[in-house]
């Protein structure tokens, strides 16, 4: 069975070496030496100033909203993974959906202004499939209306924009290190910011607000990453160049064989590619269904990322229509893409689609 993704398993001996270190130190969690090592190495690798590791990417979003004092309503995208919306609702924030651009599949900045009210405090937008949002336009609007910007960068590990990290933009950017992501710590995530005092606040918040053994200075929660997760991350990080090279080879193969008959995401010119996903748009919904069924008959299971669109989640009461998101969601499939996907299988997938 071929699925859309497969969790990467790094070198086992190296992982055991780190686990030996955990047994020696006896420290399993609470910002232990491996979490500290991974934070330092990731911040340097990604070229970001403050990176705080957390237990998963959904908590990363929730903590970013809390730390930035987001209240009331938040402008957001209908075309993302459900956590982008559920994290808002979980924090009692009101999501206001704004349709996406038909070409880059990210929130359409031209639609944002009409949806801002007196209660709006932030914009939460995803760099979908690692493609940069139209950040200059978003920043202009945010400045004019004093809104915070949080980017969900779960797909944007290692992506650059204008020759610096894409993760450096907005008031904060969050990452997910779930097992299905390009870089993973089994479960995990991170919050990235350029603001040192915000970073300090987040560090307190993820550990119950405990400032010292007998001092709790702020409301917090438990969102700590543990040493075993960090051990996996340290092993993964060493292999990222190798993983990316294998992904690129496969991404390029799909592009060469499918770009002329299918529509691809229009990627921002200033933005690099991390080859995390290979999404394609079919001509219409019936064609998408037929081809998906055909692939399934051959035990190939691409995924409809993203379906359902988030404004249609059962707990969303505001029934505004999002025609672009709806149309793309009906026609999209993410094709299988992972480092050891065999080229003979890719040929079969391309042949089946072209046929
Ligand atoms: C994976 C993902 C998340 C959630 O991350 P978890 O680590 O699974 O909690 C959030 N947003 C997007 C866009 C994602 O793809």
62 lines ligand 1 (CB under 6 A): no
Task: Select from 122, 91, 87, 90 the least CA-distant residue to 107.
Answer: 122
What is the reported pLDDT for 23?
A: 98
Whether the bond into 50 is cis, omega within 30 of 0: no
Q: 149 CA to middle of ligand 1, Å? A: 18
To test ligand 1's pocket by mutation, which of 60, 64, 77, 84 has the most ligand atoms within 8 angstroms of CB?
A: 84
Strand partners, 173: 151, 192
HSE (CB half, 13 Å, CA atoms) of 26?
0
Secondary structure element (H or E) that encloses residue 178, with its range: none
What is the reported pLDDT for 287?
A: 98
Are 159 and 146 a contacting pair, CB within 8 Å? no
What is the reported pLDDT for 225?
A: 98
What is the reported pLDDT for 318?
A: 84
What is the reported pLDDT for 83?
A: 98
Q: Cα torsion for 144, 149, 155, 157, to the nearest 10°?
A: 100
Burial 47-83 (b: 16+ CB within 10 A, else e): ebebbbbbbbbbbbbbbbbbbbebeebbbbbbbbbeb
124 lines ligand 1 (CB under 6 A): no
Neighbours of 270 (CB within 10 A): 13
Are 101 and 91 a contacting pair, CB within 8 Å? no
- Residue with the smallest CA separation from ligand 1 atom 2 is 154
80 lines ligand 1 (CB under 6 A): yes
Are 18 and 234 a contacting pair, CB within 8 Å? yes
29 lines ligand 1 (CB under 6 A): no
CA-CA distance, 324 to 77, in Å (whole number)? 11
Number of the ligand 1 atom closest to the C-alpha atom of 83: 10
Number of the ligand 1 atom closest to the C-alpha atom of 59: 9
153 lines ligand 1 (CB under 6 A): no
Task: Select from 182, 188, 183 the least CA-distant residue to 228.
Answer: 188
CA-CA distance, 275 to 79, in Å (whole number)? 19
> pLDDT per position in the chain (355 positions), as tens?
999 999 999 999 999 999 999 999 999 999 999 999 999 999 999 999 999 999 999 999 999 999 999 999 999 999 999 999 999 999 999 999 999 999 999 999 999 999 999 999 999 999 999 999 999 999 999 999 999 999 999 999 999 999 999 999 999 999 999 999 999 999 999 999 999 999 999 999 999 999 999 999 999 999 999 999 999 999 999 999 999 999 999 999 999 999 999 999 999 999 999 999 999 999 999 999 999 999 999 999 999 999 999 999 999 998 899 999 999 999 999 999 999 999 999 999 999 999 9
């Amino acid at each position: 069975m071929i699925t859309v993704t497969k969790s990467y398993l790094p070198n086992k001996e190296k992982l055991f070496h780190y686990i030996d270190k955990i047994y020696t130190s006896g420290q399993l969690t609470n910002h232990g030496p491996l979490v500290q090592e991974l934070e330092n190495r990731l911040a340097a690798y990604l070229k970001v100033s403050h990176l705080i590791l957390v237990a998963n990417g959904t908590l990363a979003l929730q903590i970013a909203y809390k730390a930035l004092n987001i209240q009331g309503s938040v402008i957001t995208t209908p075309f993302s993974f459900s956590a982008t919306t559920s994290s808002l609702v979980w924090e009692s924030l009101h999501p206001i959906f704004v349709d996406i651009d038909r070409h880059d599949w990210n929130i359409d900045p031209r639609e944002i202004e009409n949806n801002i009210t007196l209660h709006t405090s932030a914009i939460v937008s995803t760099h979908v499939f690692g493609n940069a949002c139209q950040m200059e336009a978003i920043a202009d609007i945010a400045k004019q209306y004093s809104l915070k910007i949080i980017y969900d960068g779960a797909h944007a590990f290692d992506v650059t924009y204008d020759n610096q990290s894409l993760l450096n933009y907005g008031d904060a950017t969050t990452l997910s290190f779930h097992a299905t992501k390009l870089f993973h710590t089994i479960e995990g995530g991170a919050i990235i910011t350029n603001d040192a005092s915000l970073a300090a606040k987040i560090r307190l918040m993820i550990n119950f607000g405990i400032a010292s053994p007998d001092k709790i200075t702020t409301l917090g929660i438990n969102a700590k990453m543990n040493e075993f997760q960090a051990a996996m991350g340290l092993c993964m990080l060493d292999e990222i160049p190798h993983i990316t090279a294998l992904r690129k080879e496969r991404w390029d193969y799909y592009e060469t064989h499918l770009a002329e008959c299918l529509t691809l995401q229009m990627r921002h010119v200033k933005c690099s590619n991390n080859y995390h996903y290979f999404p394609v748009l079919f001509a219409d919904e019936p064609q998408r269904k037929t081809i998906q069924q055909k692939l399934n008959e051959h035990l190939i299971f691409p995924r409809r990322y993203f379906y359902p669109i988030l404004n249609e989640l059962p707990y969303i009461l505001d029934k505004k229509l999002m025609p672009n998101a709806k149309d793309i969601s009906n026609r999209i499939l993410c094709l299988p893409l992972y480092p050891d996907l065999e080229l003979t299988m890719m040929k079969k997938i391309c042949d089946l689609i072209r046929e």
